[in-house]
Structure 1
């Protein structure tokens, strides 16, 4: 049986996520952006987490670590490469490690780019990926601590996951990302249809996630560096894949 997921907004545009396993009765929390919405979600669902898995050290993902640890007696697990920057961390993980959760063995994938030690968490049996600020719906994270080739390799790894993999990201950025994507891939019919659907969802104050790897491959320019139309639009027909990716990221930074 797949895990159940409760997704909700924290702060202004962060996603909070509770993951529940019915068989074991366990619940975990992915990142801790803000205490009050997380406590509201726990009260709403009746799912009390005993574990917090952290993707990276930025304050808008770890702000509530200590408060929640104190009140819920959470075990906090996070990336080894950023352990010194993660409040309340108890255990560290790195590439290839697994975290037992019910019948699942959560797979740790190092996905640096946004930060140097960023990790994503894959639930292979449930077909769910928590990519935080590496891969966004129709976008990717800013390169705050790494050069483009580092993020490029992380995105390549995520893009190789099964097409049906559901992807949960760290922020509700999809509408702005779609507007940018249309500037580099304006004739993509799948992207145009998706952008219209995203506009409809946001007009109704609905969330745009989860997405899937398959949907991102057809609409996310940060995974479409090989596409001849995008390359022609950028004037980069003969550039390397990583050069095309870097140019798209550069343009998004100033969009």
Structure 2
């Protein structure tokens, strides 16, 4: 079985570490130093690196981590990240520490963004490494893609098993849930989630991963087809169109200025 644990980096990043007790693979290492420290403390050998997109806080640690190491670096088909040794697209499958992962293209935050999904056989529960596409209670800003593109990407993730653990790359949950409550103030599941997340952060515990089923019931960016969400927007004078992609665009624009 593989274990998954967070390596905090910068102010609010998580670099995810998968290990089998002797070897490890890390996801989106924006900073090499905390990764090197954890590898040394746990006596792990770095056996590979997964990249979701090209932003510096996800790839900045590659040069230092690869110095003196000949290991695979899986990532999107983006030539600007020179260290990637296997470039991936939709439908590709890779083996990570003996476990199969399926690659999903999820553009929106960036055009090159991909995600990695494992069915849970090696982890006990399905897992998704989604970078900055889907967050706990939110989604990434649209730096390169369109609202239609990001909505389609989130719908792609919504089709995964409800028990999927969502390993996103930032601790943005409290801010995301505060916004979600503005969108859907009558959502009781959302209120309960916000209270639980606040308790976790007070205890110094990460709020991620979350389960996909939780995102589907509380994350406004995953609920653009919800009659309850649309009615809440209507009451607030914010609903102009009911097409889900248009609802997403409205909610995303609101969040950008929240």
Shorter-chain TM-score range: over 0.9
Aligned-partner Cα distance in 1 for 2:163–2:240: 30
With normalisation by structure 2, the TM-score equals 0.93
What is the aligned residue count? Answer: 250
Map 1:8-157 to 2 at 5 A: 8-21=7-20, 25-80=22-77, 82=78, 84-124=79-119, 125=121, 126=123, 127-157=126-156
Corresponding residue for residue 245 of structure 2: 242
TM-score normalised per structure 1: 0.94
Q: How many angstroms apart in 1 are the aligned matches of 2:241 and 2:134?
A: 26
Take 1:4 and 1:148, find their aligned partners in 2: how far apart are those partners? 35
- After superposition, give the CA deviation of every residue in 1:4-34 in whole Å (9 maximum; x if it has no partner): 1121210111101111135xx5421111111
**1:180 aligned partner:** 179
1:102-148, Cα deviation, whole Å (9 max, x unpaired):
44211111110100010001112331100110000000000110110
Aligned equivalent of 1:164: 163
Distance 2:72 2:109 in 1: 25
Question: How far did residue 48 of structure 1 move?
Answer: 1.8
| Alignment RMSD | 1.4
Residue 228 (1) aligns with residue 231 (2): no
Residue 195 (str. 1) matches residue 194 (str. 2): yes
Q: Do the aligned residues in 2 keep the contact of 1:26 with 1:101 (CA within 8 Å)?
A: no
Identify unmatched segments of 5+ residues in structure 2. none
- 4+ residue runs over 6 A deviation: none
Q: Which 5+ residue runs of structure 1 have no aligned equivalent?
A: none
